[in-house]
Amino acid sequence: MSQKVKIGTRGSKMALIQATDVEARLKALNPDIETEIVIIKTSGDWKPGQGEQKLSEAQGGKGLFAKEIEQALMDKKIDIGVHSVKDMPSFLPDGLVMEHYLEREDCRDAFVSLNFHSVHDLPPNAVVGTSSVRRQAFLLLKRPDIKIVPFRGNVPTRIEKMKAGQVDATILSYAGMKRIEVEDMAGALFEPHEMVPACGQGVVGIEYRKSDIKLKTLLDQLNHKETSICVSAERAALQVLDGTCHAPIGVNATYENGYLFINLIVARHDGTEFWQAKESGKCDTESEAIRIGQDVANIVKKDADPAVLKI
C-alpha cells in the first residue's frame, strides 16, 4: 500500500518518542508506507511566564494538550494524532475517534525526590509539587501535613525545578519516566490500590478522523486488544462522571483470562473523603468493557458529593 501518513504530535521529548514509536511500528508492518512527523505546539505546553497554574484552573483543562492537534486533524493537515491517553479529555470532537492503543506500560505513579525515598519519609510540612488534583488528594490522604503546590512543565522541566530546590518532592508517571530514560530517579512506586492511576495512564493512543476507513485498517494492525478493552472501560467511566482534570478521579482496569476488573475512586481535593467502587465481569469486546465502566461509574456517581464532580 503506497500511502503517506502525517503523524501529529507535541514537541516534547516524550511526545516525540511516542510518535516515533508509532511511526516505526507502522513502517515495520507496512514497508512501503511513507510517514512524516508533524510537530504541533499546543496550548497545554507550559511556559515559565504562566507561573505554576494548576491545569485544572486553566480554561480548557486537559483539552489544552490536544486542541491544536485535533484541529489539525479536522483541517486534514495531519492524518493521526499521537497522545498520552491520560492527558486526553473525556469527550472528543465530533468526527474524531481514538480507539487504537499501544500496549499499556507501567501505570503506576512514582515518588521523586533528591533526598527522600517515599512520601512517608518526608519531614513535617514538606513541600510537594504537583498540578494533578488526583495526586494531591491521594497525597493528602497519606500525609495531611504536607504542603501541595502547583508544579507545571514536562517531566525534564519538573525534575530540573525540583533539583533547583523549588520543592522537596514531586509525583510523576513512571511510564513517562521510563520513556525518556530517567526512571533511575524514581523512589517508591505507588501501587494502583494506593494511588489509583489516571484514566489511560501508561497508554499511548492514536486519534484519527472517523471517516478515514483506509487509515483505520492500517491502525488496526497496531491496536493492543487487552489495552483497548481496559481503556474503553476507563474512559466510559470518566464520561459518566463527566470527569475532567477538575475532579480528583482515579480509575484503573485490568484484564485477565477474559475477565475485566475495574477500580474507580473519586475524592475530595483535600483528601478527607473518598467514594470508591469496584466491578468485574466477563468481557470479550470494547462494547462490553464500556458497559462495565459505565456501571462502576454510576455506582460512584450515586454516592459521591455532586459538588466534587462539578468543581
**In sequence order, what DSSP letters do the residues of 41-79 get, joined into one string?**
--TTS--GGG-S--GGGSTTGGGGGTHHHHHHHHTTS-S
- List the one residue out of 84, 179, 92 whose CA is nearest residue 132: 84
Residues, the chain: 311
State how far the Cα of 196 lies from the Cα of 267, in Å rounded to an integer.
11
- List the one residue out of 229, 300, 226, 227 whose CA is nearest residue 263: 300
Catalytic residue among 87, 109, 168, 295: 87
Cβ pair 226, 259 in contact under 8 A = no
Unique residue bearing C-alpha cell 525540583: 162
284 is known as an active-site residue? no
- List the one residue out of 133, 113, 77 whose CA is nearest residue 308: 133
Alpha-helical runs (H) found in 80-194: 133-142, 155-163, 174-179
State how far the Cα of 27 lies from the Cα of 18, in Å rounded to an integer.
14
> Residue 293: which H helix or E strand, with range?
helix 286-303
Residues marked as catalytic: 87
